[in-house]
């Protein structure tokens, strides 16, 4: 808000020109007129009211900005979902990495999202709600899904090489033919999960909950790291293999 200062009344013309040289009077006249103009305006209440209205309008704008913040968030979410849905079934990223990360950052559930066949390398979806999602044949190398909920997710033939699935919930998830080479599955919940033909070469298996895995037939468990006691023997008895796999 501007500080409104009322000016003092200027001197009269006679007082203003006293002891001044006559030839300066034209110049003094201009200055004197402006001083009286400034004096008149400084004492005009209407201008003071305008100052208050200007401050008030700023306050109203701030109030409207915050009151409409919810609508802006909804609009942002709508646009992000549009990017995800319009790219469904297509290869490439199509802006889906940023869209998914933005939705997850705002804690929007991604239940049932379909990104099958998408290129999502390096996507960061820690703690995401991805129940019943479809990542079939998606390239999510180096992706981060720490503590994400992937219950009932379809991850068939997906590339999770080097990915972080630590403490993820993979209950009843389908990981058949998936590439989990070098992935971190520390503390993951695998009850009911299917790993038929999956490649777990060099995967970190520390503290996994494996006792109720649905199937691990033909899975490659070569050089798995920190596997819980009994896991490797159980896996081999149920059709898993220890075969060094060529790079995919």
Residues 52 and 107 in one domain: no
CATH number for position 168: 2.160.20
Evaluate whether residue 222 is within a structural domain: yes
**Rounded Cα–Cα distance for residues 248 and 245 (Å):** 8
Residue 150: both structure tokens together: 């992937």
Residues 136 and 61 in one domain: no
Residues 143 and 226 in one domain: yes
Mean pLDDT of the chain: 85
Residue 132: both structure tokens together: 């019943």
Residues 112 and 232 in one domain: yes
Residue 145: both structure tokens together: 């899904």
Residue 44 phi/psi, 5-degree rounding, is -90, 110
Q: Which residues of the chain have pLDDT under 70?
A: 1-7, 13-20, 24-25, 27-28, 30, 32, 36, 39-71, 89, 245-248
- pTM of the shown model: 0.71
Evaluate whether residue 73 is within a structural domain: no
Residues 134 and 44 in one domain: no
Residues 52 and 164 in one domain: no
Residues 113 and 157 in one domain: yes
Evaluate whether residue 192 is within a structural domain: yes
Residues 55 and 160 in one domain: no
* Secondary structure element (H or E) that encloses residue 104, with its range: helix 96-105
Evaluate whether residue 72 is within a structural domain: no
Evaluate whether residue 87 is within a structural domain: no
pLDDT for 72? 72
pLDDT for 2? 53
**Rounded Cα–Cα distance for residues 13 and 31 (Å):** 11
pLDDT for 35? 74
Which residues contact residue 54 at a Cβ distance below 8 angstroms, ignoring those fewer than 6 apart? 1, 2
Domain that holds residue 50: 13-67
pLDDT for 42? 65
Residues 58 and 174 in one domain: no
Evaluate whether residue 78 is within a structural domain: no
Evaluate whether residue 33 is within a structural domain: yes
Burial class (CB in 10 A: 0-12, 13-18, 19+), 5: exposed
Give 26-51 pLDDT, tens digit per residue. Answer: 766 767 677 767 766 666 655 565 56
Residues 220 and 123 in one domain: yes
pLDDT for 248? 45
Evaluate whether residue 85 is within a structural domain: no
Residues 102 and 160 in one domain: yes
Residues 203 and 152 in one domain: yes
Q: Into how many domains does the chain fold?
A: 2
């Amino acid at each position: 808000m501007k500080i409104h200062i009322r000016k003092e009344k200027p001197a009269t013309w006679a007082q203003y020109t006293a002891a001044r040289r006559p030839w300066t009077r034209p110049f003094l006249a201009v200055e004197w007129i402006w001083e009286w103009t400034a004096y008149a305006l400084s004492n005009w209440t209407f201008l003071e009211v305008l100052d208050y209205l200007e401050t008030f309008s700023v306050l109203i704008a701030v109030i409207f900005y915050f009151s409409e913040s919810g609508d802006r968030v909804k609009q942002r979410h709508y646009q992000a979902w549009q990017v995800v849905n319009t790219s469904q079934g297509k290869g490439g990223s199509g802006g889906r990495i940023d869209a998914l990360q933005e939705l997850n950052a705002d804690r929007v559930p991604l239940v049932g999202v379909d990104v099958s066949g998408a290129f999502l390398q390096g996507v960061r979806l820690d703690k995401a709600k991805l129940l019943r999602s479809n990542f079939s044949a998606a390239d999510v190398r180096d992706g981060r899904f720490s503590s994400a909920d992937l219950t009932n997710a379809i991850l068939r033939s997906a590339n999770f090489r080097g990915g972080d699935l630590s403490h993820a919930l993979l209950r009843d998830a389908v990981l058949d033919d998936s590439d989990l080479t070098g992935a971190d599955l520390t503390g993951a919940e695998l009850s009911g999960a299917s790993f038929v033909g999956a490649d777990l070469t060099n995967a970190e298996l520390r503290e996994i909950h494996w006792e109720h895995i649905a199937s691990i037939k033909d899975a490659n468990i070569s050089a798995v790291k920190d596997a819980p006691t009994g896991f490797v023997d159980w896996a081999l008895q149920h059709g898993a293999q220890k075969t060094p796999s060529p790079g995919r």
